Amino acid sequence: MNQKIAQQKLREANAVKRYEVTRADLPLHCPMDNTTLWNSHPRVYLPIEDSGEARCPYCGALYVLKDED
C-alpha cells in the first residue's frame, strides 16, 4: 500500500514544460528526483547558478531559479 501512495506523489516524466526550483534543488538535473523514470530521458545536469535559467536539451523543459523567501 505504501508503494502505491509513493507512486502517486511522483510527477509524470516530461509533462511540465516550466519548473521553478530553489538552491535546495541544486545540483539541478532533469528529470528531477520526484519524476517517474521509466518513461523519461537519461539524467542530465543543468548549469543554472549563473544565469538563473536552464533548458533541458532532451525534453525542452525550462528551469527557473527562484529566490527562497
Q: What is the pLDDT of residues 23-43, one digit of tens each?
A: 999 999 999 988 888 888 999
Q: How many structural domains comprise the chain?
A: 1
pLDDT of residue 38: 81
Cα 6–Cα 9–Cα 13 angle in degrees, nearest 5: 115
**Number of residues written out for the chain:** 69
> Whole-model pTM?
0.74
Q: How far is 27 from 39, CA to CA, in rounded Å?
A: 22
Domain extent, residue 40, equals 2-65
